[in-house]
Chain A
Amino acid sequence: MATYLLEVGTEELPASFVAEALAQWQDRIPPSLQEQNLYYSHIAVYGTPRRLAVVVEGLPAQQPDQVQEIKGPAVASAYSQGEPTKALLGFLRSKGLQLSDLYTQTTDKGEFVFAKQKISGKATREILPPLAASWILKLEGKRLMRWGNRELKFPRPIRWLVSLWDEEVLPLQLEDITADRITYGHRVLSKGAIVLSHAKDYTEALRENGVLVDGQERERQIVGQMQQLADLMGATVESPPELLAEVVNLVEFPTAIVGEFDPAFLQLPPQVITTEMIAHQRYFPLWDRQQPNRLLPFFITISNGDPSKSKLIAQGNGRVIRARLADGKFFYDTDRQVPLETYVPQLKKVTFQEQLGSVGEKVERLRRIVQLVFAAIPNVEPMREITDRAAYLCKADLVTQMVKEFPELQGIMGADYALHSGEHPLVAQAIREHYQPRGANDELPQSLPGQVLAIADRLDTLVGIFGLGIIPTGSSDPFALRRAAQGIVQICWHYGLQLNLPQVLKDTIGVYTNLPKGASEIYQNLLQWFQQRCETLLQEKIDYDLVDAVLGVGDPDYTEWSLSNLAEVKGRAEFLQRSRRNQTLHSIYAVVNRASRLAQQGDIPTNAKSLESLVKVDKLQEEAEIKLYQALHQLPPKPQNYEELVTAIAQVAPQLANFFDEVLVMVDDPAIRANRLGLLGYIRNYSRQLADFNAIRSV
């Protein structure tokens, strides 16, 4: 059993590529060895900014031998009077076989001559080099480059290759770069070229030369060192997972170092400081453990330098953050010299979308849309003035210097500047919150003006872009319309906002003038878009058929009705799921479902809500239908909640069952038939306050 080491030495690779490359190798190398019938005991992939490596242990010296069955000529043409024919002799010669190797076997085409031939496995050391070359050359990265005079392409220049089979160099060549047993350690912690005598020495030899080749080990080191430093300072480390993942692949030998800056900069909003640290410097911010909202004037940087030089390195980093914060302070002070509202007119120069005009025009629309949103939510007390003011100011920070420099601070700066300009705190809060949720797991706006403005902003974008006929497909969603619609739904669900979506969509379409697509096309497409978003969100917790039953798949009228109270969509879905679980759905499912299907066949309109409009008392003939009518008459027309609705239906269920047993619905007399269908239609329509029972599969 032997060990194979492949190392690709490079100039500094992008951190994201190191992670991607190792994942690709992890996926591809095992099957590529298996295809060659090469089995091993262990495989490990390693990567740092300057190298990608794989170590395969327990490889056999050669592939296992294989026995192959070869088919020769038909027996009839192989022998003539017991003697081998020319055809058979030719076959033997070409395969290097003897007469004694042969046997005959019957196939569906007759009797044939066969032989078993042993194929000796090739030496592993011959198989590996071309495989290794393909592992390297098949790596995919977002941007490949050439260097020098070569044709070769890789994310950064390849400077050396190591290809070692235990103690032996296996030949491997990429253009003029030839594999050897020489690798290089850390740029400053290593003494120079490292000659590897054995493939197994790899990780230890590099450790001695200041390189931890295993990313997981570096991550453990970083996390542990940061924790130690934080403990010493009574601090909590803010460690976003993406930042940690990146930093792991920016260093070969991590040392966590604390740097500091002038506490005077803490006057800046903490997000300005942490954005500078995280996005620009890859520093980890430190927060006060006692007062969790208090940022400390310290940070942690993960150095790749010599640990003994940490003091000097900390000083350098401290100066950099000071310069950056001074820059930020300059923007902050300049921006605050005038009230936030003075920036609003400049929004006319900022394009929202080429065909949809400027952000200034968007703001004008938003002021109208927030009022429409309030009008479409019956269960809240509108806060019209605050929200109008917030709508007017919500994009003003886009033209401030700070947000031009740090676009990710949009909303956050607007809120800060609004407060400084003496705006109402709720206006400021709404400005900050209207971008939320920024993603699937982000916080939602807490204030009502923030919620309404968030909804309005997304409605405006959705209507505008759909109005241009740009409907996202598959992974292409450049305006993040999926997220926009989902955000509206999440806000309404979380806060129980009974938004009448169809109404507000129609009204918002009316706010736009000159959209290339017609109003009804935009409306239909958007309704479907929202239905799909609700579906996706519901399917996380609700059975598929119940989701369909709540949203009315294939029944546009029901969908429209369903979405006319967005909060209840979720309420109804969760109620159905509970009812299915505790069996209460069972008590009404069968009869209601049957009534629904019959009513469907009878063309009973789904919008008829009163019993009187569907059933004429003087046409009731049989006792069972009279009893059903009386029972239906007792149903509370507007049940307080879904429990009451289900209990009420459960109470008429026996009469309904009896009706199905005793009464023939499809009689010849059209008036009687219509009357009986009307009874069923009423049940169906009544139950549709909860769900479209036609869509429910079984209980």
Chain B
Amino acid sequence: MDFQSVILTLQNYWSDRGCLIAQPYDMEKGAGTMNPHTFLRAIGPAPWCVAYVEPCRRPTDGRYGENPNRLQHYYQFQVLLKPSPDDVLEQYLQSLKVLGIDPADHDIRFVEDDWESPTLGAWGVGWEVWLDGMEVTQFTYFQQAGGIDCRPVSVEITYGLERLAMYLQGVNSIFDIVWRGDVTYGQVHHRNEVEQSYYNFGNKGQNNQRLFQLFQEYEAEAQEQIKAELPLPAFDYVLKCSHTFNLLDARGVISVTERTRYIARIRNLARQVAKLYLESSSTG
């Protein structure tokens, strides 16, 4: 099954189960959880079922395209079901079956892995799903987001698309995944991995000071939009802050102590956005 068929299959599967098929959010982010479709919709009482592909950036994972198993830019397939259905594990196992992985033929394990995002003030309880020892999915029941208790509780299913595709295609390098026909994942993304790795690690004399300034500007922008009671625009700049922080972190220019403070600054914004979003949705 080629890469895009994996995506199409999952979209169809979850669409058939009542999910809205959404599109990626147009901002850099470290995980599909940070898409407002998940982060903000997990807050508050309204039911919500959504599935979408999300490109993710993790600057420190850059390997200049030399490591066959690691990328600084990759894709997640994200499903959010609220409230969490009682048969969610069975639904998930069925989705593997439609991908051609029959759970009866494999050793599928739900291994404890609780999730916490210090920058988003969010945590949840769940598993990483192992397919014959390979982690292919993250499963999380959200307990808090932006410091707010999630009631009802949503469940988030995050498929690692590259991992699944590698498994299905039997290839040992991400770059050998067939995207479609004779186009490989490497052809689509390898150059980006190389260039972005140089950028992420600042190997070509990149200006870290400017990144520090950008962080401050983004933070100020977020704060002003919070004051203006516009949680969605404010959230965009929280995402900007988060990504800028991740870049600075990859550059190794943030000490451990400063690191904690930066995380606290972003979390503080995320909390305010979450609170504002909840208040304005209940009154509006």
Residues of A near any B CB (own CB < 8 A): 11-16, 49, 143, 145-149, 155-157, 159, 187-188, 250-251, 281, 283, 301, 303-306, 309, 312-313, 315-317, 319-324, 326-327, 330, 346, 349-351, 354
Residues of B near any A CB (own CB < 8 A): 63, 66-70, 83-86, 89, 93, 103-112, 114, 124-125, 127, 131-134, 141, 143, 151-153, 155, 167, 172, 252, 255-257
In contact, A306 and B257 (Cβ under 8 angstroms): no
Contact sample, A vs B, 28 pairs, CB 8 Å cutoff: A11-B89, A143-B125, A146-B141, A147-B141, A148-B85, A149-B83, A149-B153, A155-B125, A156-B125, A157-B84, A157-B141, A187-B103, A188-B104, A250-B111, A304-B109, A305-B107, A309-B105, A309-B106, A312-B105, A316-B133, A317-B132, A319-B167, A319-B172, A322-B172, A323-B134, A326-B69, A330-B67, A349-B252
State the Cβ distance, A608 to closest chain B Cβ, in Å. Answer: 53
In contact, B172 and A330 (Cβ under 8 angstroms): no
**Which residues of the other chain, B, contact A309 by a CB distance below 8 angstroms?**
104-107
In contact, B134 and A316 (Cβ under 8 angstroms): yes
In contact, A313 and B106 (Cβ under 8 angstroms): yes
The answer to whether A147 and B84 touch (CB under 8 A), given A250-B111, A306-B104, is yes
In contact, B114 and A143 (Cβ under 8 angstroms): yes
Name the CB-closest residue of A to B114: A143
In contact, B110 and A11 (Cβ under 8 angstroms): yes
The answer to whether A149 and B152 touch (CB under 8 A), given A313-B106, A316-B132, A330-B63, is yes
* Most interface-central of B114, B127, B256 (chain A CB within 10 A): B256
How many Å lie between the Cα of A327 and that of B172 in the bound state? Answer: 12
In contact, A145 and B68 (Cβ under 8 angstroms): no
In contact, B109 and A250 (Cβ under 8 angstroms): yes
In contact, A320 and B132 (Cβ under 8 angstroms): yes
**Which residues of the other chain, B, contact A187 by a CB distance below 8 angstroms?**
93, 103, 108
How many Å lie between the Cα of A324 and that of B172 in the bound state? Answer: 11
**Which residues of the other chain, A, contact B257 by a CB distance below 8 angstroms?**
351, 354
* Most interface-central of B107, B111, B131 (chain A CB within 10 A): B107
In contact, A145 and B141 (Cβ under 8 angstroms): yes
**Which residues of the other chain, B, contact A315 by a CB distance below 8 angstroms?**
132
How many Å lie between the Cα of A146 and that of B167 in the bound state? Answer: 33
> Which of A13, A15, A306 contacts B105, CB < 8 Å?
A306
* Most interface-central of B109, B111, B112, B125 (chain A CB within 10 A): B112
State the Cβ distance, B88 to closest chain A Cβ, in Å. Answer: 8
**Which residues of the other chain, B, contact A313 by a CB distance below 8 angstroms?**
106-107, 132
The answer to whether A148 and B86 touch (CB under 8 A), given A188-B103, A188-B104, A317-B132, is yes
> Which of A304, A319, A322, A323 contacts B107, CB < 8 Å?
A304
**Which residues of the other chain, A, contact B151 by a CB distance below 8 angstroms?**
146
In contact, A350 and B110 (Cβ under 8 angstroms): no
**Which residues of the other chain, A, contact B69 by a CB distance below 8 angstroms?**
323-324, 326-327
**Which residues of the other chain, B, contact A316 by a CB distance below 8 angstroms?**
106-107, 131-134, 167
How many Å lie between the Cα of A313 and that of B134 in the bound state? Answer: 11
**Which residues of the other chain, B, contact A323 by a CB distance below 8 angstroms?**
68-69, 134, 172
State the Cβ distance, B160 to closest chain A Cβ, in Å. Answer: 12
State the Cβ distance, A274 to closest chain B Cβ, in Å. Answer: 16
State the Cβ distance, B103 to closest chain A Cβ, in Å. Answer: 6
In contact, A281 and B105 (Cβ under 8 angstroms): no
How many Å lie between the Cα of A542 and that of B67 in the bound state? Answer: 57
In contact, B63 and A321 (Cβ under 8 angstroms): no
In contact, B83 and A330 (Cβ under 8 angstroms): no
How many Å lie between the Cα of A565 and that of B167 in the bound state? Answer: 62
**Which residues of the other chain, A, contact B109 by a CB distance below 8 angstroms?**
12, 250-251, 304
Q: A316-B107, A317-B133 are in contact. List 6 more A-B contacts (CB 8 A).
A: A11-B110, A16-B112, A157-B84, A320-B132, A323-B69, A327-B70
* Most interface-central of B85, B110, B141 (chain A CB within 10 A): B110
State the Cβ distance, B147 to closest chain A Cβ, in Å. Answer: 16
In contact, B108 and A305 (Cβ under 8 angstroms): yes
**Which residues of the other chain, B, contact A49 by a CB distance below 8 angstroms?**
110
* Most interface-central of B127, B132, B134 (chain A CB within 10 A): B132
**Which residues of the other chain, B, contact A159 by a CB distance below 8 angstroms?**
86
**Which residues of the other chain, B, contact A322 by a CB distance below 8 angstroms?**
172
Counting from the closest, the 7 A-B pairs by CB-CB distance are A316-B132, A305-B107, A12-B110, A14-B112, A351-B256, A317-B133, A145-B125
How many Å lie between the Cα of A319 and that of B63 in the bound state? Answer: 21
**Which residues of the other chain, B, contact A148 by a CB distance below 8 angstroms?**
83-86, 152-153
How many Å lie between the Cα of A316 and that of B86 in the bound state? Answer: 30
How many Å lie between the Cα of A322 and that of B111 in the bound state? Answer: 20
Name the CB-closest residue of B to A310: B107
Name the CB-closest residue of B to A358: B255
The answer to whether A146 and B153 touch (CB under 8 A), given A187-B103, A188-B104, A327-B67, is yes
How many Å lie between the Cα of A143 and that of B109 in the bound state? Answer: 20
In contact, A15 and B112 (Cβ under 8 angstroms): yes
Name the CB-closest residue of B to A189: B104
How many Å lie between the Cα of A146 and that of B42 in the bound state? Answer: 14
* Most interface-central of B151, B153, B155 (chain A CB within 10 A): B153
How many Å lie between the Cα of A250 and that of B112 in the bound state? Answer: 10
State the Cβ distance, B116 to closest chain A Cβ, in Å. Answer: 10
**Which residues of the other chain, A, contact B104 by a CB distance below 8 angstroms?**
188, 306, 309
How many Å lie between the Cα of A338 and that of B237 in the bound state? Answer: 40
State the Cβ distance, B26 to closest chain A Cβ, in Å. Answer: 32
Name the CB-closest residue of B to A351: B256
> Which of A146, A156, A354 contacts B143, CB < 8 Å?
A146
The answer to whether A281 and B85 touch (CB under 8 A), given A146-B153, A319-B172, A351-B257, is no
How many Å lie between the Cα of A223 and that of B256 in the bound state? Answer: 43
**Which residues of the other chain, A, contact B252 by a CB distance below 8 angstroms?**
346, 349
State the Cβ distance, A360 to closest chain B Cβ, in Å. Answer: 12
How many Å lie between the Cα of A155 and that of B141 in the bound state? Answer: 11
How many Å lie between the Cα of A166 and that of B104 in the bound state? Answer: 34
**Which residues of the other chain, A, contact B114 by a CB distance below 8 angstroms?**
143
In contact, A305 and B93 (Cβ under 8 angstroms): no
Name the CB-closest residue of A to B102: A188
**Which residues of the other chain, B, contact A250 by a CB distance below 8 angstroms?**
109, 111
In contact, A321 and B133 (Cβ under 8 angstroms): yes
**Which residues of the other chain, B, contact A306 by a CB distance below 8 angstroms?**
104-105
Name the CB-closest residue of B to A329: B67
In contact, A320 and B134 (Cβ under 8 angstroms): yes
How many Å lie between the Cα of A96 and that of B167 in the bound state? Answer: 77
How many Å lie between the Cα of A319 and that of B255 in the bound state? Answer: 37
The answer to whether A12 and B255 touch (CB under 8 A), given A187-B93, A313-B132, A316-B134, is no
Name the CB-closest residue of B to A176: B86
In contact, A319 and B67 (Cβ under 8 angstroms): no
How many Å lie between the Cα of A489 and that of B195 in the bound state? Answer: 53
State the Cβ distance, B92 to closest chain A Cβ, in Å. Answer: 11
State the Cβ distance, A464 to closest chain B Cβ, in Å. Answer: 16
How many Å lie between the Cα of A244 and that of B255 in the bound state? Answer: 38
How many Å lie between the Cα of A566 and that of B152 in the bound state? Answer: 62
> Which of A15, A143, A251, A349 contacts B255, CB < 8 Å?
A349
Name the CB-closest residue of B to A13: B112
How many Å lie between the Cα of A145 and that of B141 in the bound state? Answer: 8
State the Cβ distance, A354 to closest chain B Cβ, in Å. Answer: 5
State the Cβ distance, B62 to closest chain A Cβ, in Å. Answer: 12
State the Cβ distance, B280 to closest chain A Cβ, in Å. Answer: 23
**Which residues of the other chain, A, contact B63 by a CB distance below 8 angstroms?**
330
State the Cβ distance, B170 to closest chain A Cβ, in Å. Answer: 8
**Which residues of the other chain, A, contact B66 by a CB distance below 8 angstroms?**
330
How many Å lie between the Cα of A49 and that of B89 in the bound state? Answer: 14
